[in-house]
C-alpha cells in the first residue's frame, strides 16, 4: 500500500535551532517525493522535490531509499519558517495524484 507517515503533529523549536521534520513512506517502486508547505492564511505550495536536489529557503531533503525516508532539514530555524509542512509521494509520473502525510506543524519560537 502507498503511504506517507509524518510521525510528529507538532514540532516546536527556538529560533536558530536545527530543524528536522520526519517523513517515511511506503511504496513498491521508485516514487517521487515532495515537501509542500502552508503558511498562515496562504495556499498550499511546493517547497521542494527530491528530484531537483535543491535547497529552498535553507531547507534540504534527501531521499533515503534504504530507510524509505525523506526528512526535511534546516540547520538554523527562523520564525518565518513557522507553518504546516506536508510530505507527499507521487507513484506514477506525470499525474496530479499525490499521497500526503498528515502534516507537521512547525512552530519556531523567538
Partner 1 sequence: KAGVTQTPRYLIKTRGQQVTLSCSPISGHRSVSWYQQTPGQGLQFLFEYFSETQRNKGNFPGRFSGRQFSNSRSEMNVSTLELGDSALYLCASSKTGTGYTGELFFGEGSRLTVL
Q: Which residues bind partner 1 (CB under 8 A)?
A: 32, 34, 36, 43-46, 49, 51-52, 86, 90, 92-103
Q: Residue 66 or residue 97: which is nearer to partner 1 going by CB?
A: 97
* Least separation in angstroms between CB 88 and partner 1: 8
Q: Which grid coordinates are listed for 70?
A: 525523506
Pairwise CA distance, residues 50 & 54, whole Å: 8
Q: Residue 17 or residue 51: which is nearer to partner 1 going by CB?
A: 51
* Least separation in angstroms between CB 87 and partner 1: 11
Point out which residues pair with 108 in neighbouring strands: 13
Q: Which grid coordinates are listed for 89?
A: 509521494
* Least separation in angstroms between CB 97 and partner 1: 4
Q: Residue 28 or residue 43: which is nearer to partner 1 going by CB?
A: 43
Distances (CA, A) of 91 to 2, 8, 44, 50, 98: 8, 23, 20, 13, 8
Amino acid at each position: 500500500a502507498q503511504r506517507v507517515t509524518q510521525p510528529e503533529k507538532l514540532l516546536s523549536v527556538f529560533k536558530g535551532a536545527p530543524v528536522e521534520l520526519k517523513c517515511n513512506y511506503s511504496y513498491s517502486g521508485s516514487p517521487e517525493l515532495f515537501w509542500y508547505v502552508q503558511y498562515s492564511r496562504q495556499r498550499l505550495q511546493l517547497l521542494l522535490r527530491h528530484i531537483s536536489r535543491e535547497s529552498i529557503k535553507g531547507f534540504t531533503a534527501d531521499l533515503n531509499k534504504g530507510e524509505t525516508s525523506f526528512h526535511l532539514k534546516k540547520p538554523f530555524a527562523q520564525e518565518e519558517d513557522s507553518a504546516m509542512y506536508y510530505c507527499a509521494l507521487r507513484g506514477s509520473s506525470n499525474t496530479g495524484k499525490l499521497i500526503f502525510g498528515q502534516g507537521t506543524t512547525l512552530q519556531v519560537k523567538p
